[in-house]
Amino acid sequence: DSGVTQTPKHLITATGQRVTLRCSPRSGDLSVYWYQQSLDQGLQFLIQYYNGEERAKGNILERFSAQQFPDLHSELNLSSLELGDSALYFCASSVAATNEKLFFGSGTQLSVL
């Protein structure tokens, strides 16, 4: 158990809908990262937050947004969902903003039908 908690584990929804994925980092970790894993793109970095502030952006679509709350948990919001958004979404956390060791949650499997 990495100590990073992601909910829900599975999510099935329809095109055009909006979903929210939730992540609780390991105790003491200030930095949260979101990654998307799909068969064709592999593991892609989406966005990073550090102590509530956006730190870095990767290949995140405009339809996607995220935030980190004062209690350090994070949410990834995906809207106007398309079939191609079906993927495994990982949250990871680390102590500092520059990640020497990154610990991943078990992921949320999103299926858009």
Per CB under 8 A, residues contacting another protein are 2, 33, 42-43, 45, 48, 56, 58, 88, 90, 92, 97-107, 109
Shortest Å distance, C-beta 105 to another protein: 7
Which residue lies nearer to another protein by CB, 59 or 80?
59
Shortest Å distance, C-beta 82 to another protein: 22
Tokens of 70: 């004062």
For the purposes of burial, counting CB atoms within 10 Å of the CB of 44, is it exposed (0-12), middle (13-18) or buried (19 or more)? middle
In 3D space, the residue among 9, 7, 10 whose CA is nearest the CA of residue 112 turns out to be 10
Which residue lies nearer to another protein by CB, 10 or 71?
10
Which residue lies nearer to another protein by CB, 39 or 62?
39
Query: What's the Cα-to-Cα distance from 102 to each of 3, 9, 22, 93, 96, rounded to whole Å?
Result: 11, 20, 18, 6, 10
Shortest Å distance, C-beta 13 to another protein: 19
Shortest Å distance, C-beta 16 to another protein: 26
Q: Which H or E run contains 50? A: strand 42-50
Tokens 């592999």 belong to residue? 42
Which residue lies nearer to another protein by CB, 13 or 99?
99
